[in-house]
Amino acid sequence: MTQQTPLHATHVAAGARMVDFAGWDMPVNYGSQIEEHHAVRRDAGMFDVSHMLALDLEGADAKAFLRGLIANDVAKLVEPGKALYACMLNEQGGVIDDLIVYFLSDTAYRLVVNAGTADKDVAWMQQRLAATGAAATLGVRRDLAMIAVQGPNARAKTWAAIPGAEAASTALKVFQAATLGDIFIARTGYTGEDGFELTLPADKAAGTWAALTAAGVKPCGLGARDTLRLEAGMALYGNDMDETVSPLDAGLAWTVDFKDENRDFVGKAALVANGARQQALGLILEDKGILRSHQKVFTAQGEGETSSGSFSPTLEKSIALARLPLGVAAGDAVEVDIRGKRLKARVVKAPFVRNGKALV
C-alpha cells in the first residue's frame, strides 16, 4: 500500500492526478504540466516534497562522523544554517544517495535524503554509527512535512503567506537556512530557480499550503518538478547516478572534496583508484523525437547512454543528460538511438536553463 503525505487530502480535493512515486501516492500534475512548469520559471509554484526524509544527527562526534560518511566535507560549514550538497558512497565508489546537509552546530546537523532511498539510507547510517562507535544519534523525523516554493517571485509570496518569514529569511544566502519558530526555512531548491524549501510540523502543512495558494503560489506536481530539474541540469537519483555509478562519472565531481589528504571517507579509495571513466554532458535533439533515459548515444569516441531525458517546455526542444566517453566536448554532433532510428543531437554543457534564462 502506498504511503500518503500530510497534504494528500489537499491534493485529492484539488483534483490532482495521483501516481505511485517511490511508494508514495503523489500528485503528478493538477491539470497542465506545461503551465505548472512555466509558473515556476516565470512566477511561483510549489511542490509537496514531504515524501523526502529529514534526519537530525546530534552528538559530540557528529562532525567527525559526517566527514567519514559523505564525499563532500562538512568541515567547510561554519556559518549556522549553511548547507552542503553531497553524495553518500559505498566502498566501490557508487552513490548510495545524494543528500543535503545543514550545519546547525559542530554537534548538530540536519540531513535531507530522497524518498526512494530513505529506509536504505537510515540503515546504512545506523550501520556506520555502530561500526565507527561514533558518539552521535540519528533522529528520523517523519513528524515533519516539506513544501518547496520555487520561482522568481517565490520568496516574496512566501513572505506574504507566512507571518514573520520575511524578517527570518530575507538575509539568507543561497544554500542557507534559518528557523522561524517550528518552521525551518532553507533557500534551496531543485528547479534552477530561487525560492525556499520549508520544513514544518505535519499538522501545519495544510494550512501553510492554503496560505501559499491564497498568496498566488501555483500548486505543481512531480511532472513539472522533473522537467524543471532536468533543464537546470540537476541529477536525479536512480537515473543519473546509483550504487553502480561514481559521482566522478555522473557530473558530480564538484561534490567530492579531496583537499584534506588526511580525511578518509567511504568510497574514497575506489574514486582515487578508478578516476573518471565517463563524463556527464547535456544533449539537445536536432531531429524530431523525444529523448528519454537509457537510450544509446553514438559518438566519435565510442558509445554512451542518456540518463535522463524529456521535452523542455522552456526551450521547446527535447533535451537529455547523458554519460558519454571522455573526449566528447560541447558542440560535438552525436546520434541517439530512438526506437531503432539514429537521430541527430548536439552536445552541450548543462544546465540548459537557470533563473528563467536559456543558457544553450
Task: Read off the pLDDT of residues 196-221 as tens digits, 9 standing for 90 and up.
Answer: 999 999 999 999 999 999 999 999 99
pLDDT at residue number 303 = 98
pLDDT at residue number 165 = 98
Nearest to 352 by CA among 283, 249, 253: 283
Is 349 part of any domain? yes
Percent of the chain scoring above 90 in pLDDT = 100
Mean pLDDT of 43-70: 98
DSSP output for 122-182: HHHHHHHHHHHT-S-EEEE-TTEEEEEEESTTHHHHHHHHSTTHHHHHTTPPTTBEEEETT
Residue type, 121: D
Rounded Cα gap, residues 161 and 66, in angstroms? 35
Is 142 part of any domain? no
Mean pLDDT of 181-188: 98
Q: Residue 1: is its pLDDT beyond 90?
A: no
Residue 359 confidence class, pLDDT cut points 50, 70, 90: very high
Mean pLDDT of 23-45: 98
Q: Based on C-alpha coordinates, what's the Rg of the chain?
A: 20
Is 351 part of any domain? yes
Is 303 part of any domain? yes
Residue type, 292: R
Q: Domain residues for 317?
A: 278-358
Is 205 part of any domain? no
CA distances from 184 to 16, 144, 210, 318, 348 (A): 27, 10, 18, 36, 37
The count of domains in the chain is 1
Is 293 part of any domain? yes
Rounded Cα gap, residues 45 and 29, in angstroms? 12
Residue 113 confidence class, pLDDT cut points 50, 70, 90: very high
User: Residue ranges of the alpha helices (H) in the chain?
Assistant: 8-13, 33-42, 62-69, 118-132, 154-161, 165-169, 205-214, 222-231, 268-274
Residues 171, 116 contacting (CB under 8 angstroms): no
How many residues are present in the chain? 360
Mean pLDDT of 102-122: 98
Mean pLDDT of 317-338: 98
Is 265 part of any domain? no
Edge-to-edge, what's the strand order for the sheet holding 53-58?
A: 83-89, 95-105, 108-113, 53-58, 137-140
CA distances from 283 to 50, 196, 225, 280, 292 (A): 31, 29, 19, 10, 11
Task: Read off the pLDDT of residues 133-175 as tens digits, 9 standing for 90 and up.
Answer: 999 999 999 999 999 999 999 999 999 999 999 999 999 999 9
Mean pLDDT of 16-29: 97
Residues 305, 322 contacting (CB under 8 angstroms): yes
How many angstroms separate the most distant Cα atoms in the chain?
58
User: Residue ranges of the alpha helices (H) in 44-92?
Assistant: 62-69
Task: Read off the pLDDT of residues 73-93 as tens digits, 9 standing for 90 and up.
Answer: 999 999 999 999 999 999 999
Torsion of CA 172, 175, 177, 183, to 10 degrees: 110
Task: Read off the pLDDT of residues 245-254 as tens digits, 9 standing for 90 and up.
Answer: 999 999 999 9
Residue 263 confidence class, pLDDT cut points 50, 70, 90: very high
Nearest to 313 by CA among 191, 134, 198, 152: 191
CA distances from 295 to 229, 276, 291, 306, 322 (A): 19, 21, 8, 5, 9
Task: Read off the pLDDT of residues 93-109 as tens digits, 9 standing for 90 and up.
Answer: 999 999 999 999 999 99
Q: Residue 260: is its pLDDT beyond 90?
A: yes
CATH number for the domain including 324? 2.40.30.110
Give φ, ψ of 43 to 5 degrees: -145, -100
Question: What value does the mean pLDDT of the chain take?
Answer: 98
